[in-house]
Amino acid sequence: MHLKYLTGYPEQLQEQAQQWIASGRLNALLQRRYDEYHEVGDDRALYAYALQLKNRYLRKAPPLSLVVFDSRINQVQHALGLNSSISRPHGSRLKSRNEIRIASLFKKAPAAFLRMIVVHELAHLKEKEHDRAFYLLCRHMEPDYFQLEFDLRLYLTLLEMKTGQDASDD
Ligand SMILES: [Zn+2]
């Protein structure tokens, strides 16, 4: 089985993931590690959540004009670098107004994954590219950023196996 969310990781990690899937342990493993859910259930709560993080870590970045859940966007693909051929993934017009759109699958995701994706989008207020400066900023806001991103990929792999659809299409 091809694990599209994990391409780019060392082969050893991919094989480990294959084993977790084959043995049916991945679900339990993720549930044990991420047993905390959030209560950010609507756009209003999401805005407050993002603003709180921004005020703590990025006070000087441009103000947020809008933060919403969006069921249409393919943000996961972007955030995880799966469509790096597109050079303006967020849309330049939206970007200039500092809107943050979070894929609605995160409404029901574990708290840590929502945090990871909001941190990712907040970091883009200052750094446009997925470069070293960008990831330093992500880790400044969330020291476990890389682990969370890897585990989010496992989570999405599992979601797709459950629903039989592309999780990122939501
Ligand atoms: Zn990004």
pLDDT of residue 96: 53
Cα(80) to centroid(ligand 1), Å = 7
Residue 127 alpha carbon to ligand 1 centre in Å? 9
Give the pTM: 0.85
What distance in angstroms lies between residue 25's CA and the mean position of ligand 1's atoms?
30
**Cα 65 to averaged position of ligand 1 atoms, centre (Å):** 18
Amino acid making up residue 83: N
**Contact 101/72 with Cβ under 8 angstroms?**
no
Q: Using CA atoms, how far apart are residues 147 and 124, in angstroms rounded to an integer?
A: 19
pLDDT along the chain (170 residues), means of 10: 85 94 93 95 97 96 90 71 45 62 91 95 90 96 95 90 64
Q: What is residue 88's predicted lDDT score, i.e. its pLDDT?
A: 46
Q: How far apart are the first and last CA of the chain?
A: 21
Q: Is the dihedral of CA 141, 147, 150, 156 positive or negative?
A: negative
Residue 83: predicted pLDDT: 44
Distance from Cα 89 to the centre of ligand 1, integer Å: 8
